[in-house]
Every structure is written in C-alpha cells, then in structure tokens.
Structure 1
Amino acid sequence: MKLLKTRIDGPKIIKTEIFRDSRGFLKETYRKNIVNKKEFPFDVMSFSKKNVLRGLHIQTKKPQAKIITVTYGKIFDVAVDLRKNSKSFGKYVGITISDKDNFSFYIPEGFAHGFLCLSKECTVNYKCSQYRVPESEKTLSWDDPDVNIKWLIKKPILSDKDKNLGLSLNEFYNLK
C-alpha cells in the first residue's frame, strides 16, 4: 500500500494490491501507518442509483478527513479545496473509482466531498476521522460555475438539501 499525489496538495490515491483467486479477491483499504497515522473512528456506507449525485459536503467544525472506497459499482468522486488560505482554494480533484480498482481516495480535512453514481447502482464506504456534527455541515453547490466541476451529466438526481441549500464558493469563503 502506498500514497500517490493528485494535482492538488492534500488529496491522495491510496494504491493497494488486490489478491485474486477463483473465490474472488481480497484488498486492504486502510493502514494507519500509511495514511498520516490518522485515527478514523467513524465509518459510513451509502447506496445510490445511477445519476444520483451526493454532495458537495463539508463539516466546518470538527472537519473530517475521509477515505473513500467503492465496494460495488462505479462513481465519479470529487474533492474541492475549501481551505481558505490554500493556493488551490476552489479547485477540485475528480477521479473515477469502481469496485474493480486497486485504490481508494484519501481526502484531507478542509475539502468538500461529493460523488456521482455512474453505474446502475453503487455502494460507497467512507472512513471518517471525526464523528458527524450535523449543525456544522455545509453544502457547496454542485454546479457552482466558479468551481466548474465536469460532472459527466447535466441533470443529476439530488436530495432536497443538495438541491436547495448549496452555497456558492464566494458564500462559503465569507462564512464566519
């Protein structure tokens, strides 16, 4: 297992080895000594149908680092840099991940996260460094023109929260 850089400082690809045989496969998804020795006390799993877009979510208090692993299907996964003093503020990294891939996606604190389900169905596991704090959750608008994410779809299926409560990059930057 090793960490590979992405085009923005912070998010990393966690490259793993898959051990396959006639029964199926086995792969490691997390090693504390590889991923900045972080603790990840909270795991979440989501199930989505094709064209469902979840995100872009961030906790402003007790920010979460996440490790994203697709256990079924295929997604387009996105991390947007919302660290206010970062040189890459407002920029994003987007990668396609499937259950067939030999990697997970590490997203550090200070990044909004979202994904689009590309397959008929998908299951995504999130390993989180902090517990969920609903009152500090914010949503960055999935289609903010200043971020300009290339989502591969024009009309995704969104939750009411993601549809109606998304902040622009400028609004997020000016939050107290």
Structure 2
Amino acid sequence: MKTIPSGLPGALIIEPRVFGDERGFFYESYHQEKFEQIGIGSKFVQSNVSRSAQGVLRGLHYQWPHPQGKLVSVLEGEVYDVAVDIRRGSPTFGQWTGVMLTGENHRHFWVPEGFAHGFCVLSEAATFTYQCTALYDPLADRAIRWNDTAIGIDWPVSVPLLSEKDMRAPPLADIPPELLPAFTP
C-alpha cells in the first residue's frame, strides 16, 4: 500500500497493492493494521454505495456536531473527488485538495473528520463507495456551496447536475461558527 500526501494535512490518497492477471484483479480495500500504521485508526461504522450519472456533482457535504471521516473510492467509472478543511482555527481553513478516483486506478481517498467532501462524475456513470466513521445523522447533515468563490475549487465541470440541497447550500463564510468543527492541534 502506498500513501500520497494530498496537499492538506490529514487527507491522504491511498494506492492499494493490486494483484492482477488476465482473469482480473484483487486488492485489499481496507486492512485495519495497515491503515493504523499510516495514521487512520478510525473505526468504520457505516458503509455506503452510490451511483451517479455523468455531470452529477454531490457536495460539499459534512456532518456537525456528529462529524464523519470518510474513506472513499470508485468501483466503476471516474470521479473528481474533493476535500475542504472547514475546521475553525485551522492553518488550512477553507483550503481544498482534489484527486481523480477511478475504477482503473483503484485509489482511495481519506477525508478526515472536520473536512467537507464532494465529488463530480466525469464518466458516463460512476459507482462510488465510502466507509464512514459515524452513522449518518439527518439532523447533523450540512452543506457548503459547491462553487463558493472564497474556496475556489477548480471543478472539471461547469454546469453540474445538482440536488436541491446542494443548489441552496450557503458559502462557507455564511455558516455560523457553531455549525463548524474546531481545529485541535
């Protein structure tokens, strides 16, 4: 397993060791001991799969006060995946990092608690999977505007297909501080 820094402390790109031949391939998508060795000691309590069509953008989502860390990957297709540091007082507050996740590159992306998450689908469709460190809590469900100019994400789509929730999401500057996690060094 290889880890690649993402540009934001704590957010990691993970490349599993893939064993393949003419019959197909195999890789460990999660191995507790190996993940603990790279600093991801979180316990996963919920696993989700979503399928989205080309041009769909989901995000930027987070939960507060019950934050979720997410280990995300793509089983089929291609997505551009983004994490934004939204921890009040963080030296990288409001900064983002992005990574291409595909069914071919088998990469995983670790989005720690305290970060907002989003992705857009570049292929005809994509099947996306994510392991979460906390259960989904509809009362803690939050969103930030996908195209917040203060964050400045360079999305590879200009007119995405959005949910009603994502269309109405406020910019980061309009979110009350008590609805954002705090940075703890």
TM-score, normalised relative to structure 1: 0.95
Q: Distance in 2 between matches of 1:103 and 1:95?
A: 9
Q: Distance in 2 between matches of 1:111 and 1:28?
A: 25
- 1:161 partner SS: helix
2:5 partner letter: K
Q: Which runs of 5+ in 1 are unaligned?
A: none
Shift of 1:173: 5.3
Given that 1:72 and 1:122 are in contact with CA atoms closer than 8 Å, whether structure 2 keeps it comes out as yes
Q: Distance in 1 between matches of 2:81 and 2:149?
A: 18
Aligned in 2, Cα 1:37/1:174: closer, same or farther, shift over 3 Å?
A: closer
Pick from 49, 63, 70: which aligns with 2:74?
A: 70
Deviates more, 1:58-67 or 1:34-43: 34-43
User: Which residue of the partner structure matches residue 11 of structure 1?
Assistant: 11
1:100 partner letter: E
Shift of 1:15: 1.8
2:61 pairs with 1:57:
yes
Identical residues among aligned pairs (%): 35
Q: Distance in 2 between matches of 1:129 and 1:34?
A: 17
User: Which residue of the partner structure matches residue 27 of structure 1?
Assistant: 27
Pick from 111, 127, 134: which aligns with 1:107?
A: 111
Deviates more, 1:127-136 or 1:27-36: 27-36
Q: Distance in 2 between matches of 1:78 and 1:153?
A: 13
Q: Which runs of 5+ in 2 are unaligned?
A: 180-185
Please provide the CA RMSD for this pair. Answer: 1.2
User: Which residue of the partner structure matches residue 44 of structure 2?
Assistant: 40
2:112 partner letter: P
TM-score, normalised relative to structure 2: 0.91
User: Which residue of the partner structure matches residue 97 of structure 2?
Assistant: 93
Shift of 1:4: 2.4
Shift of 1:33: 2.0
2:45 partner letter: P
Aligned residues: 175
Q: Distance in 2 between matches of 1:77 and 1:18?
A: 21
- 1:123 partner SS: strand
Pick from 64, 85, 88: which aligns with 1:84?
A: 88
Q: Distance in 1 between matches of 2:42 and 2:129?
A: 17
